[in-house]
Protein backbone atom coordinates (compact mmCIF):
# COMPACT_ATOMS: atom_id res chain seq x y z
CA UNK A 1 0.00 0.00 0.00
CA UNK A 2 1.52 3.38 -0.97
CA UNK A 3 2.03 5.91 1.82
CA UNK A 4 -0.65 8.50 2.40
CA UNK A 5 0.19 11.86 0.85
CA UNK A 6 1.34 14.20 3.60
CA UNK A 7 2.06 17.87 3.87
CA UNK A 8 4.65 18.27 6.63
CA UNK A 9 5.29 21.84 7.70
CA UNK A 10 7.39 23.68 10.21
CA UNK A 11 4.67 24.93 12.49
CA UNK A 12 4.20 27.94 14.77
CA UNK A 13 1.74 26.06 17.03
CA UNK A 14 -0.98 28.66 16.57
CA UNK A 15 -3.63 26.29 15.17
CA UNK A 16 -6.06 25.19 17.90
CA UNK A 17 -6.18 21.69 16.37
CA UNK A 18 -2.53 21.26 17.30
CA UNK A 19 -3.21 22.19 20.92
CA UNK A 20 -5.97 19.55 21.10
CA UNK A 21 -3.76 16.96 19.36
CA UNK A 22 -0.91 17.58 21.80
CA UNK A 23 -3.25 17.41 24.78
CA UNK A 24 -4.20 13.88 23.67
CA UNK A 25 -0.47 13.11 23.48
CA UNK A 26 0.01 14.27 27.06
CA UNK A 27 -3.04 12.25 28.17
CA UNK A 28 -1.59 9.10 26.58
CA UNK A 29 1.77 9.68 28.26
CA UNK A 30 0.13 10.21 31.65
CA UNK A 31 -1.98 7.07 31.20
CA UNK A 32 1.00 4.85 30.37
CA UNK A 33 3.81 6.18 32.57
CA UNK A 34 4.10 7.29 36.19
CA UNK A 35 4.10 11.11 36.61
CA UNK A 36 7.85 11.32 37.30
CA UNK A 37 8.53 9.47 34.03
CA UNK A 38 6.41 11.66 31.74
CA UNK A 39 8.82 13.88 29.81
CA UNK A 40 6.50 15.11 27.04
CA UNK A 41 6.60 18.85 26.44
CA UNK A 42 3.47 20.93 26.78
CA UNK A 43 2.52 23.64 24.29
CA UNK A 44 4.36 26.40 26.18
CA UNK A 45 7.62 24.39 26.26
CA UNK A 46 7.27 23.52 22.58
CA UNK A 47 7.22 27.26 21.84
CA UNK A 48 10.73 27.65 23.27
CA UNK A 49 13.17 29.07 20.66
CA UNK A 50 15.34 25.94 21.01
CA UNK A 51 12.49 23.80 19.62
CA UNK A 52 11.54 23.16 16.01
CA UNK A 53 8.04 21.70 15.64
CA UNK A 54 6.49 20.03 12.60
CA UNK A 55 2.91 19.05 11.93
CA UNK A 56 1.80 16.50 9.32
CA UNK A 57 -1.47 16.88 7.45
CA UNK A 58 -3.39 14.68 5.03
CA UNK A 59 -4.76 17.10 2.41
CA UNK A 60 -8.53 17.39 2.21
CA UNK A 61 -10.35 16.03 -0.82
CA UNK A 62 -10.31 19.51 -2.31
CA UNK A 63 -6.54 19.54 -1.97
CA UNK A 64 -6.27 21.97 0.94
CA UNK A 65 -2.90 21.38 2.59
CA UNK A 66 -4.27 21.60 6.14
CA UNK A 67 -6.99 18.99 5.83
CA UNK A 68 -6.53 16.53 8.71
CA UNK A 69 -3.79 16.72 11.33
CA UNK A 70 -2.31 13.21 11.55
CA UNK A 71 1.13 13.60 13.12
CA UNK A 72 3.63 15.78 14.92
CA UNK A 73 7.29 15.79 15.83
CA UNK A 74 9.77 18.24 17.28
CA UNK A 75 13.45 18.54 17.95
CA UNK A 76 14.85 20.43 20.91
CA UNK A 77 18.42 21.60 20.62
CA UNK A 78 20.54 20.46 23.53
CA UNK A 79 23.70 22.14 22.21
CA UNK A 80 25.15 23.19 18.85
CA UNK A 81 25.48 19.61 17.58
CA UNK A 82 22.96 17.54 19.56
CA UNK A 83 19.16 17.64 19.71
CA UNK A 84 16.40 15.57 21.24
CA UNK A 85 13.46 14.19 19.30
CA UNK A 86 10.23 15.18 21.08
CA UNK A 87 6.45 15.04 20.54
CA UNK A 88 6.44 12.21 17.99
CA UNK A 89 2.78 11.31 17.70
CA UNK A 90 0.46 9.83 15.12
CA UNK A 91 -3.29 10.23 15.38
CA UNK A 92 -4.85 7.00 16.68
CA UNK A 93 -7.05 6.78 13.56
CA UNK A 94 -3.98 6.85 11.30
CA UNK A 95 -1.60 4.52 13.16
CA UNK A 96 -0.15 1.70 11.08
CA UNK A 97 -0.38 3.70 7.85
CA UNK A 98 3.24 4.86 7.61
CA UNK A 99 2.67 8.37 8.98
CA UNK A 100 5.30 8.07 11.73
CA UNK A 101 7.90 6.83 9.26
CA UNK A 102 7.28 9.74 6.90
CA UNK A 103 7.43 12.26 9.75
CA UNK A 104 10.57 10.71 11.22
CA UNK A 105 12.37 10.72 7.86
CA UNK A 106 11.38 14.36 7.36
CA UNK A 107 12.65 15.35 10.80
CA UNK A 108 15.92 13.46 10.29
CA UNK A 109 16.48 15.34 7.02
CA UNK A 110 15.67 18.65 8.71
CA UNK A 111 18.03 17.88 11.61
CA UNK A 112 20.83 17.21 9.13
CA UNK A 113 20.00 20.45 7.27
CA UNK A 114 20.27 22.32 10.57
CA UNK A 115 23.79 20.96 10.95
CA UNK A 116 23.06 18.67 13.86
CA UNK A 117 25.45 15.76 14.37
CA UNK A 118 23.41 13.68 16.83
CA UNK A 119 19.73 13.11 17.59
CA UNK A 120 18.66 11.35 20.79
CA UNK A 121 15.32 10.50 22.35
CA UNK A 122 13.64 9.23 25.47
CA UNK A 123 10.60 7.01 25.22
CA UNK A 124 8.68 4.74 27.52
CA UNK A 125 9.32 1.07 28.21
CA UNK A 126 5.67 -0.01 28.39
CA UNK A 127 4.10 -2.15 25.61
CA UNK A 128 2.27 0.97 24.33
CA UNK A 129 5.67 2.19 23.05
CA UNK A 130 6.67 -1.02 21.20
CA UNK A 131 5.74 0.34 17.73
CA UNK A 132 7.85 3.45 18.41
CA UNK A 133 10.80 1.31 19.53
CA UNK A 134 10.59 -0.69 16.30
CA UNK A 135 10.40 2.45 14.18
CA UNK A 136 13.39 4.11 15.82
CA UNK A 137 15.58 1.00 15.74
CA UNK A 138 14.69 0.37 12.08
CA UNK A 139 15.88 3.88 11.18
CA UNK A 140 19.27 3.83 12.84
CA UNK A 141 18.70 4.71 16.47
CA UNK A 142 20.58 2.60 19.02
CA UNK A 143 20.27 2.25 22.80
CA UNK A 144 22.28 4.73 24.84
CA UNK A 145 22.71 5.98 28.38
CA UNK A 146 20.57 8.83 29.69
CA UNK A 147 21.55 12.15 28.11
CA UNK A 148 20.98 15.81 28.95
CA UNK A 149 19.19 16.12 32.28
CA UNK A 150 17.75 12.56 32.22
CA UNK A 151 18.69 9.95 34.82
CA UNK A 152 18.25 6.19 34.83
CA UNK A 153 14.57 5.34 35.07
CA UNK A 154 12.99 1.89 34.68
CA UNK A 155 10.16 3.54 32.74
CA UNK A 156 12.44 5.26 30.21
CA UNK A 157 14.35 3.94 27.23
CA UNK A 158 17.06 6.11 25.67
CA UNK A 159 18.11 5.94 22.03
CA UNK A 160 20.53 7.96 19.89
CA UNK A 161 21.91 8.16 16.38
CA UNK A 162 24.72 9.97 14.65
CA UNK A 163 23.45 12.06 11.77
User: From the CB of residue 145, how many other CB atoms can be counted at a distance below 10 Å?
Assistant: 10
pTM of this structure: 0.89
Span 106-110, average pLDDT: 97
β-sheet bridge partners, residue 75: 52, 85
Length of the chain: 163
Whether the CB-CB separation of 101 and 8 falls below 8 Å is answered with no
In CATH, what number is assigned to the domain containing residue 63? Answer: 3.40.630.30
Q: What is the pLDDT of residue 67?
A: 83
Judge whether 62 lies within some domain.
yes
Q: What is the pLDDT of residues 55-107, one digit of tens each?
A: 999 987 765 556 899 999 999 999 999 999 999 999 988 988 999 999 999 99
State pLDDT tens for residues 34-58.
667 666 778 889 999 999 999 999 9
Q: Does residue 2 fall inside a structural domain?
A: no
Name the residue among 143, 122, 141, 30 with its Cα closest to residue 78.
122
For residues 41 and 148, what is the distance between their CA atoms, to the nearest angstrom? 15
Q: Looking at residue 64, what is its pLDDT?
A: 57
- Rounded CA-CA distance 112/124 in Å is 25
Residue 14: inside a domain, yes or no? yes
pLDDT computed for residue 35 by the predictor: 62
Q: Provide mean pLDDT across the span 111-117.
A: 97
Answer yes or no: is 43 within a domain.
yes
Domain that holds residue 133: 7-162
Could you tell me if 116 and 83 are in contact, meaning their C-beta atoms sit under 8 angstroms apart?
yes
- 145 in any annotated domain: yes
Number of domains in the chain: 1
User: For 115, left (φ over 0), alpha (ψ -120 to 50), or beta?
Assistant: left
List phi, psi (to 5°) of 16. -65, -25
* pLDDT greater than 70 at residue 113: yes
Greatest alpha-carbon pair distance for the chain in Å reads: 49
Query: Which pLDDT score is estimated for 62?
Result: 64
Residue 1 domain flag? no
3-state SS assignment for residue 17 = helix
Amino acid sequence: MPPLPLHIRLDDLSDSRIAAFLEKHLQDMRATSPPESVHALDLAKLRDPSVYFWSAWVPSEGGALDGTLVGTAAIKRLDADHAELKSMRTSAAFRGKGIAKQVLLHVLAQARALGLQRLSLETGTQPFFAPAHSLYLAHGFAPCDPFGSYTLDPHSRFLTMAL
